[in-house]
Chain A
Amino acid sequence: MHFGIQNILFIIALAVAGFVFARKFGNIWRNIKLGKEVNRTDRKAERWSVMGRVALGQTKMVKRRYVAGFFHVVIYAGFLLINIEVLEILIDGIFGTHRLFAAPLGGLYTAAINFFEILAVLVIVSCLVFLWRRNVVVVDRFKALTGWAKRDGNNILIIELVLMVALLVMGAAEANMAEVKAGPFLISGLIAPAFEGVSQANLHLIERTAWWLHILGILAFLNYLPYSKHFHIIMAFPNVWYSKLEPKGQFSNNETVKKEVELMMDPAADPYAAPAEADPDTPPERFGAKDVTDLNWVQLMNAYACTECGRCTASCPAHITGKKLSPRKIMMDTRDRLEEVGKNINANKGTFVDDGKSLLGDYTTAEELWACTTCNACTEACPVNIDPLSIIMDMRRYMVMEESNASQQVNMMMTNVENNGAPWAYAQADRANWTNEL
């Protein structure tokens, strides 16, 4: 095969796919950066180690969920390793070569392709298992997914099936061809008899069609990702790297409030001092989060890293006992709202025009947020260290500190803490009474 019209078409397809993806990715990154700054670049060695274990090593993926964990590892390994073959396909496509690595690698090449073909079969099996879990037996945590969320999950699995089948058909057709660069290979060799007796011209056509289907499929898949939960294959790694390293029980101290309280408690502060000149055009900083732009950028990245598996929700005590809260929905709400804000910015030449909506209220309701026990089951369950709890807490802070939107009982508790130093209405002076009962 020589450089020709096919290669020009291929290069154009590659360039267009790359350009479209880069533009969309830039858009998503812009959206993520709408979040507030947060320092997550400390303890770098530990971050690499966590990423190695959790993202690369899939340790949380296989924890307690053996079936899903096992098949996910298969698809994940297939994705990572078969992509080595895609590298060859890309080079072949650009330069008009065919199986470029076959000659220099020799027996190693055959071994590698055999291995990839076995992986491809395992991926096909895994995709079928996952489709079955989503559509036939319907695992509990997938029951809540409807509409786009459900279709999305199936789309991805079907695309992966098509890609893998194309890969095998390509090899099978080639195995029957008169001039063969390499092979026959383990699995495609088994399918090869299906193409026996087909004319050389048709074999060539089948092989080329499968080749194009495979590579165009990959490029299409790449551009499907940003609209899909499957974007996690790109965001999972950075998401784990930037995840919270402090003990799960340590909640952030709100910086805005900290400044106010320090000023209040500082005996040297001049109570009559004129406030520092503030820019009248900048709105005062909010306590807590009402909308996605009040969250920090890692929380927003969390939303794009979420693949809606629902392990968080399945382990949430509030959800288990029939309450409205679902940590997965918190993440999906955050992404949906952020996408809406991003579209608003795009439509208004780079500035956000108030649409009268917000994450709190229009997407997530107070009832959901008040059902949380802050138990950290969701953050523990997440295979990629997403932190829905921090988003729940930030919205609670907004409700309580900006809207005084808490139940009578919660308000009573807070009044008691403020006046008596205890959540109940006991007098501070009685605190040590128990020492007399020994």
Chain B
Amino acid sequence: MEAERIKVPTMAEMMAAGKKPDVLFWVGCAGSFDDRAKKITKAFVNILHKAEVEFAVLGTEESCTGDPAKRAGNEFLFMMQAVANIQVLNGYEVTKIVTTCPHCFNTLKNEYPELGGSYEVMHHTKFINQLLKEGKLSIAGGPYKGKRITFHDPCYLGRANGIYEAPRELIQKLDAELVEMRRCKSNGLCCGAGGAQMFKEPEPGNKDINIERTDEALETKPDVIAAACPFCNTMMTDGVKNSSREGQLPVMDIAELVARAGDL
């Protein structure tokens, strides 16, 4: 796309210009650094841009929410991160946050209020849904019409926060055929990345969790595996690489599906 390069403003720039965005996009570590997850970030920014949402990011002032440290058991490190982040967020008088990572979402929404950081926090699947309902964004048919898409529930979106329908509604709006895995929604199987497992080798066992989960996804004979978490995305992508459908079965974030359907 030659047209215009999207400019992503930071909170600092906004403040300097005397403006306040409607929503802060909390990018998260994976979304900022991981090459695969960065594509999700960019897809979501395209959506925000298309819907003309006034948003900003923290840029280099953003730091890990502390989720992996907390799940690993390191409360000290978690709280140091949390308290520092809350100072930054409160300093900018942030009231509304959207994030593409269910781990950031959960931590910001549930664990920060007790430490002095209370915000309205939304996961991007809910946010995009809202944009559609408000008519700020529209998707119809597109490349996923009639395609079989299975959705892997991220634990920190589903069981942890009870959000099962928002991502599914989006898949259905793509005119795709939503096919459910044997274990889905509140019974969904973890991808294996949660609880700081992402950053360590699994304990000894007879199978990797992401392989088990990918096998389940393959049983639905999908054209696309949809995820809504950068870590689930990594785990499922690795799972597909180990399967017979290597190279033929894309693992896509909901934001990417919506962006592509809207030709963004």
Contact = CB atoms under 8 A, between A and B. Distances in A.
A binds B: yes
Interface of A: 64, 246-251, 253-254, 257-258, 260-262, 264-265, 287-288, 315, 317-318, 320-325, 367, 370-377, 379-380, 393, 396-401, 406-407, 409-410, 412-414, 417-418, 421-424, 426, 428-435, 437-438
25 contacts: A247-B106, A247-B109, A257-B75, A257-B79, A258-B115, A264-B80, A317-B190, A322-B206, A324-B204, A375-B159, A399-B73, A400-B72, A406-B73, A413-B69, A417-B64, A418-B80, A421-B29, A421-B62, A422-B64, A428-B60, A431-B32, A434-B27, A434-B41, A435-B59, A438-B8
Given A373-B193, A432-B60, A422 B32 contact: yes
A437 B195 contact: no
Contacts of A373: 155, 190, 192-195, 197, 209
Interface string B195-224: 111111111111111011100000000000
Nearest to B34: A424
B156 interface: yes
Contact of A323 (B38, B64, B205): B205
Contact of B161 (A247, A317, A377): A247
Contacts of B201: 407, 409
Contacts of A247: 106, 109-110, 160-162
Contacts of A251: 70-71, 111
Contacts of B69: 413-414, 417
Given A320-B212, A434-B42, 17 more contacts: A247-B160, A248-B160, A253-B114, A262-B83, A318-B205, A321-B212, A322-B205, A377-B159, A397-B75, A413-B69, A414-B74, A421-B29, A431-B27, A431-B59, A433-B32, A434-B32, A437-B38
A339 B213 CA distance: 38
Given A261-B83, A417-B66, A249 B77 contact: no
Interface string B46-79: 0000000000010110111010111111111101
A323 B202 contact: yes
A253 B75 contact: yes
Contacts of A424: 29, 33-34
Given A320-B189, A423-B29, A376 B160 contact: yes
Interface of B: 5-6, 8, 10, 27, 29, 31-34, 38, 41-42, 45, 57, 59-60, 62-64, 66, 68-77, 79-81, 83, 106, 109-111, 114-115, 155-156, 159-162, 186-187, 189-190, 192-209, 211-213
A401 B212 CA distance: 32
B30 to A, nearest CB: 9
Contacts of B161: 247-249
Contact of A374 (B59, B80, B195, B206): B195
Contacts of B111: 250-251, 253
B190 A375 contact: yes
Contact of B115 (A248, A253, A410): A253
Contacts of A318: 203, 205, 209
Contacts of A376: 155, 159-160
B209 A431 contact: no
A258 to B, nearest CB: 6
Contact of A413 (B33, B79, B199, B209): B199
Contacts of A422: 29, 32-33, 63-64
Contact of B212 (A317, A380, A429, A432): A317
Contact of B189 (A261, A377, A379): A377
Contact of A321 (B10, B38, B110, B207): B207
Contact of B62 (A253, A371, A399, A431): A431
A228 to B, nearest CB: 29
Nearest to B107: A249
B72 A401 contact: no
B63 A412 contact: no
Contacts of A367: 203-204
A339 to B, nearest CB: 26
Contacts of B199: 409-410, 412-413, 423
Given A247-B110, A260-B76, A417-B64, A370 B203 contact: yes
Nearest to A422: B29
Given A376-B155, A431-B59, A434-B41, A249 B29 contact: no
A257 B76 contact: yes
A407 B162 contact: no
Contacts of B57: 432, 435
A424 B68 CA distance: 11
Given A377-B159, A438-B5, A400 B189 contact: no
B110 A434 contact: no
Given A248-B160, A375-B155, A410-B196, A288 B63 contact: no
B77 A432 contact: no
B187 A421 contact: no
Contact of B72 (A261, A315, A410): A410
Contact of B73 (A288, A315, A323): A288
Nearest to B105: A249
B77 A414 contact: yes
Nearest to B112: A253
Contacts of A438: 5-6, 8, 42, 45
A426 B111 CA distance: 25
Nearest to B212: A321
A418 B74 CA distance: 11
Contacts of A315: 187
Given A406-B73, A409-B201, A413-B199, A261 B79 contact: yes
